[in-house]
A and B are shown apart, each in its own frame.
Chain A
Amino acid sequence: MSITNLLNNWSFYRQKRPFRGQYDLNKQYSEYKWAMALDLDICTGCNACTTACYAENNLPVVGKERYQHGYAMHWIRIERYWDENMGEFPESGTSFLPMMCQQCEEAPCETVCPVGATNHTNDGLNSQNYHRCIGSRYCSVNCPYKVRYFNFWNYPSTAWPSPLQDQLNPDLTVRTKGVMEKCTFCVQRLNEAKSRARTEYRLVKDGEVVPACVQACPTNAITFGNIVDPKSKVAKMWKNQQVDLYKDEQEKDSSMRGYRILEDLRPFPSVMYMERVRDMEA
């Protein structure tokens, strides 16, 4: 609260985030930036990830009536799209799209929260602090992907009839009515791995920690890791697919499959999708 603090660090406070070099291994700022690569060609749409998310993140089962009204709390959902110019039959199959919080670098949800319940962590996650949330739902309005889920009901009292509550993950709060929630990249796992790594004076190794969806995915369609570490698989994939975290329009070869959804809105998502491939001659 002091003027000297303001004056001394003015340029730091005026620095727009993300800035190139915000995430680097030399720990100028942060040595982690969690990111994903999701291969839509091998995603089979099997919903193993969504169920794993329910198991890991204490998501309530809302029931038929509430599902109908759009109260489903699936932090990751599988969307199924038909081709727009489909004939009598969907002859080239369908498109599955797992959609979860994209952990945008310039997240539209963050700036609008009146209490700062959602904000950016140093390792590049879009955090959501349930205990700070007052439930204005502005973030959900501003989220282009609509992946924020609001607790319209008091699920703790209904969704886990005894003894189902014994299954709840103690590393995570069970959210009460009136707060917003969303995919966290399983931050409880990340925190545990990071703290273990710090105790051993090292960085988290590639593959040491994965979110529940990545763990479950039977086809390994999701790759997760620290994109700062050039040796990590996810960083290699991003680089290979010529997708740059800081660009809103990628300049890449047409044969490369990497893209980010709704990039033109400039949220700089941390999830790279890889295009579905179809053998058009088949």
Chain B
Amino acid sequence: MVNTYEETEVAVEKKFVKKEHDINADIEWAKINKDILRSLERPRAIFWVIFVASFALFMVGVSCEVYQYQTGLGVANLDNPHVWGLYVATFIWWIGMGHSGTLLSALLHIMHADWRKPIYRYSEAMTTFTLLTAAMFVLVHLGRIWQFYYVVAYPNERWTWPNFQSPLVWDATAIGTYLTSSLIFLYIGMIPDLAICRDNAIGFRKKIYLFLSLGWMGTDRQWANFRVTYLTLACFLMPLAVSVHSIVSTDFAASQQPGYHITSFPPYFVAGAIYSGLAVIITLFIVLRYTFRFEEYMTIPILEKLAKLTFAAAMVWTYLNLIEYASTWYGNDMYAKQALIYRATGNFAPFWWMMNFLGSVLPFALAFKKVRTNIPVMLVLSILLNFGMWLERWMIISPTLAHGIYPWTWDHDQWPSFVQWGIVAGSFGWFNMLFMLYCKIFPSISMYEVKEMLYERRSFKTKKVAEEVSNPELAVEGGLAS
């Protein structure tokens, strides 16, 4: 039997490409430009609804902060010894979310997993904005926010320096490094796309893109430099992302507070960060997919891959979580053990159990393909998982502080005041606002990389078909004859 080229093509597609059918390899490149640049034009009405809601939420946070600024941190219902509360918990949570974006992008880039290409851009943007949000919490939680610049190392008329021994300074350094590096990574990766925007935009927008695209022309020399640069940056960013959250964990692990002073905290924090980051990527995936009609690029198989990764991360986190409890229990240190028992039985116990359920049990739903491919379910699930991770951070901060080494000062039964909740809510508004503005101004899917992906897919297919055609035996084996 003679196989026509077309028949072979279909067969090859069945055999090889089916597994990789996450994106249709035959989309016209010009259509990609058009589809994605459309997100910079008029979005669905839901966009504006969310935007206005976010702005309102942000203003709630701002007014709470103004009140707190004028009155003192007491209005947040923090007290001695419960000096940290939702601010620090939410700070870690935002920082953690920022992880998956850049880390995933860099890791998958190095590993040549090309399904990252439609989703990495908005993930990186998410990283940037979660970091900005987290940095905001660092300021908000300070008693004297107006003196925050004392932490910055610069020569000054006081002849003072920050205390480089403090994990908070490492934190500031690490976050600063991560923020700037992520920004550079995001920007450099965006330059070819900015050139596309420039080539298609008109009016004042063109001037902006003209400026931002730095005259990129896509010459072979530029591409060669670009490739090396992008890979190198990815290599730097991956360890950086790991280091940032480990350093954040030293804020706790390096202290003497029982329940904070835990050796496994750095990997535990990193795992939690990746976990919550993946969950938020899924959430944003679904939202963007709907808002900007990206169904062709953000396809269900990609979502499934993300879900599988999330499941894996959840299991890593669960393991580290349990090992933390186990080692505390087994280590039999009186202070830490009492703190652990307090977490499970004290005032915060309902939240602690909820956290364990949401963090460890709920992700098993992701083992089912029906769940993974169901978009509304995934939306709810990802939000719930993230809420569980937020609870995790809160359960590290609050119960532990309420139950320290010194029994006389235990637990005044503090519940965060509306100021704390307001500022936490405001941070969501702030993040959403920034992220949506970003998606409105910059392409949230990397156009050139999607093209690259399609190009690779297509050449792979072509190559395979060519192989099949020139080698009939292989074709027979592959079942083409039938």
Contacts and interface: CB of A to CB of B under 8 A. Distances in A.
B160 interface: yes
A71 B143 contact: no
A71 B405 contact: no
A134 B412 contact: no
A113 B166 contact: yes
A72 B71 CA distance: 17
A45 interface: no
A116 B162 contact: yes
A178 interface: yes
Contact of A178 (B142, B254, B256): B142
Contacts of A99: 408
A265 interface: yes
B355 to A, nearest CB: 21
A218 interface: no
A137 B77 contact: no
A133 B143 contact: yes
Contacts, number: 146
B423 to A, nearest CB: 16
A142 B142 CA distance: 16
Given A135-B142, A136-B141, A111 B72 contact: no
B167 interface: yes
Given A114-B151, A135-B144, A153 B71 contact: yes
B79 interface: yes
B460 interface: no
- Chain B interface size, as a band, is 35 or more
Given A134-B150, A136-B141, A265-B405, A146 B73 contact: no
Given A114-B169, A137-B84, A150 B404 contact: no
B163 interface: yes
Nearest to B406: A146
Given A70-B412, A71-B80, A136-B168, A154 B72 contact: yes
A177 B25 CA distance: 62
A71 B147 CA distance: 23
Nearest to B158: A132
A134 B78 contact: no
B83 A145 contact: no
A150 B80 contact: yes
B270 to A, nearest CB: 21
Interface centre among A132, A134, A150, A151 (most CB of B within 10 A): A134
A25 interface: no
Contacts of B405: 144-146, 262, 265
15 contacts: A69-B412, A113-B166, A114-B150, A115-B163, A134-B151, A141-B84, A146-B81, A148-B80, A150-B73, A150-B143, A152-B78, A153-B72, A177-B74, A178-B142, A265-B405
